[in-house]
């Protein structure tokens, strides 16, 4: 019979969990992740991918739109540095009924012009914008959910 070294103990390889004094979650040196670690890992990986897509989207798509004279004034109002990237990505994620409603409102200057941007972007640009925006929103929701669950002492 083969033997395995586990937690500085020599145990038989066909050992049944619990027989050698180890708990099931400690068997084979694996620690089972609890819900807090799982949520944090998901939120962190989501934020990491979103940050990469933010830079990629800004360099590939929005930079091209800023250089064109016919589109640079139609990227929406930039409240902070880089906010026009959010405006452009949001324009490609909004449903048509919402775009039409915003276009008629006095707040139309805050959002990017979808029709004009559609003419000056490729399919890849639009897919990149939608992917970035969905991940950006989901990472924000994950962090808010994480903070709420922590404030209700779910992770204690």
Sequence-distant (6+) residues with CB within 8 A of 9 are 20
Q: Distance between CA 133 and CA 114 in Å, rounded? A: 15
Distance separating the N- and C-terminal Cα atoms of the chain: 43
Task: Write the DSSP symbol of residue 15.
Answer: P
Q: For position 30, what pLDDT does the model report?
A: 46
* CA dihedral for 103, 100, 71, 92, sign (positive or negative): positive
Residue 122's H or E segment, with its range, is: none
Tens of pLDDT, residue by residue, the chain (156 residues): 555 445 555 545 554 555 555 454 554 554 556 777 887 888 899 999 999 999 999 999 999 999 999 998 888 888 888 889 999 999 999 999 999 998 899 988 888 989 999 999 999 999 999 999 999 999 999 889 888 988 888 776
Residue 78 structure tokens: 């930039």
Q: Distance between CA 134 and CA 149 in Å, rounded? A: 22
Q: Distance between CA 76 and CA 128 in Å, rounded? A: 19
Q: For position 15, what pLDDT does the model report?
A: 47
- Provide the CB-side half-sphere exposure for 151 (13 A, CA): 6
Instruction: Measure the CA angle with vertex 46, ends 43 and 50; round to 5°.
Output: 140
Instruction: Compute CA distances 147 → 24, 47, 65, 127, 151, whole Å.
Output: 31, 15, 36, 30, 6
């Amino acid at each position: 019979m083969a033997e395995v070294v586990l937690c500085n103990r020599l145990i038989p390889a066909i050992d049944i969990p619990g027989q050698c004094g180890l708990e099931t979650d400690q068997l084979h040196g694996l620690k089972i992740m609890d819900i807090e670690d799982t949520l944090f890992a998901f939120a962190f990986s989501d934020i990491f991918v979103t940050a990469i897509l933010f830079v990629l989207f800004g360099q590939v798509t929005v930079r091209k739109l800023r250089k064109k004279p016919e589109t640079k004034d139609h990227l929406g109002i930039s409240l902070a540095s880089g906010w026009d990237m959010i405006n452009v990505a949001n324009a490609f994620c909004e449903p048509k009924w919402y775009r039409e409603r915003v276009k008629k409102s006095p707040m139309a200057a805050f959002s990017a012009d979808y029709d004009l941007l559609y003419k000056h972007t490729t399919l890849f640009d639009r897919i990149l914008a939608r992917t970035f925006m969905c991940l950006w929103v989901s990472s924000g929701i994950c962090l808010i959910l994480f903070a709420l669950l922590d404030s209700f002492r779910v992770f204690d």
